[in-house]
Amino acid sequence: MNNNYKILAVFEYSTEAHVTKSKLDSEGLQTMLMDEKTIDSDPLISNAIGGVKLLVHQDDFEKATKIYNNIRAYQKDKSGKDFSCPKCNSNRVLVAPIQRKNVFYMLFPFFEKKRHICNDCKTIF
């Protein structure tokens, strides 16, 4: 990877990455995709190699982050309504990364409860 680029986001499939890349390119930002061709040749290995990485030039990273945060999909409940953060009441809520600190959850990850994180104040709930 070129040292002048940072990973902005990781996608499971290249089509998802291309949509975001197109938006950033239209704003005049320097972007590139990594591992796109590998996953396109065999989509089942996406999790094994960590997905398609969307790279943005480090000079454009802050602007790209703001644009990406405005266009990305946020979590909704079962009825289709936006989640809201209990601390700041923002509706920009994502699924929090899984921690799996306990051996039980490492062996049986489907028992771990889904947690959410606010993209604005970073509160995990």
Q: Catalogue all structural domains in the chain, each as residue range(s) with its CATH number.
A: 5-71 (3.30.70), 74-125 (no CATH)
Q: What is the pLDDT of residue 79?
A: 82
Dihedral pair phi/psi, residue 40, rounded to 5°: -65, -30
Q: Walk along the chain (125 residues) in steps of 10 and give the mean pLDDT of each run.
A: 86 90 96 94 85 94 92 79 86 76 76 82 86
Tell me how far CA of residue 62 lies from CA of 24, 65, 68, 87, in angstroms: 12, 5, 10, 25
- Extract the tokens encoding 43: 């989509």
In the chain, beta strands by DSSP E: 5-11, 31-34, 52-57, 93-95, 116-118
pTM for the structure as a whole: 0.68
Per 3-state DSSP, the chain is made up of helix, strand and coil in percentages (nearest 5) of 40, 20, 40
